[in-house]
Structures are given as C-alpha cells and as structure tokens.
C-alpha cells in the first residue's frame, strides 16, 4: 500500500528569536510584571535606563525574554510606534 501523503516531506518551523517581535516581548514582560504586582511602565523604564535586568521579574520568563533584545531596538520601536500613533 503506497499512500502519497507518506512519501512527502512535511515542513516544520520553530519560532526563532528573530521571529519574536519587540512588541510581543514588551507585552509579555508587561503582563508578567503586572501579574506580580509591579508598575510595569516604571520597571521597564528602569531596565531601559540602567540595563539592570533586576528591574524585570523572572515570572513567566520575562527577564530572559527582554534580555534577548537590544535596548536600542526596544527604544527605536517605542519611539517609532509612538510617533506613528500620534499623527
């Protein structure tokens, strides 16, 4: 019994770090900080100004996620989004 579907190679793609957007990371970090009772905006600003990951909770892997991004990438995304939305 030769079934064609078993003769074909299926493609599988794992989401890579490059596929994770700054927006997704910030949203996940924001949610994790809020869940833990922190003021997410203050904590994220503290991290961006100081580069100290201690401002970000490790809850839901938030600290590891934000450390995958360059801070200048995050700032660039924030400024460009802000300017696009204020026009």
The total domain count for the chain is 1
The pLDDT tens digits of the residues spanning 22-79 come to 999 999 999 999 999 999 999 999 999 999 999 999 999 999 999 999 999 999 999 9
Domain that holds residue 30: 21-85
Instruction: Please check whether residue 28 lies inside any domain of the structure.
Output: yes
Identify the band that residue 9 occupies on the pLDDT scale cut at 50, 70 and 90: confident
10 in a structural domain: no
With beta carbons less than 8 A apart as the criterion, state whether 70 and 22 touch.
no
Question: What's the distance, CA 15 to chain centroid?
Answer: 12
Q: Is residue 26 part of a domain?
A: yes
What length does the chain have? 87
Residue 32 lies in a domain: yes
| Residue 30 belongs to some domain of the structure | yes
Would 45 be classed as within a structural domain?
yes
Residue 38 belongs to a domain: yes
12 in a domain, yes or no? no
CA–CA gap between residue 61 and residue 35 (Å, rounded): 13
| C-alpha–C-alpha distance, residues 40 and 32, integer Å | 8
**Residue whose token pair is 């922190």:** 38
């Amino acid at each position: 019994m030769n079934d064609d579907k078993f003769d074909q190679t299926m493609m599988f793609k794992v989401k890579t770090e490059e596929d994770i957007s700054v927006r997704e990371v910030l949203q996940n970090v924001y949610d994790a900080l809020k869940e833990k009772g922190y003021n997410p905006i203050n904590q994220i600003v503290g991290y961006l100004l100081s580069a100290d990951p201690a401002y970000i909770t490790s809850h839901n892997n938030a600290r590891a996620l934000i450390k995958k991004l360059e801070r200048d990438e995050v700032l660039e995304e924030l400024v460009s989004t802000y300017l696009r939305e204020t026009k």
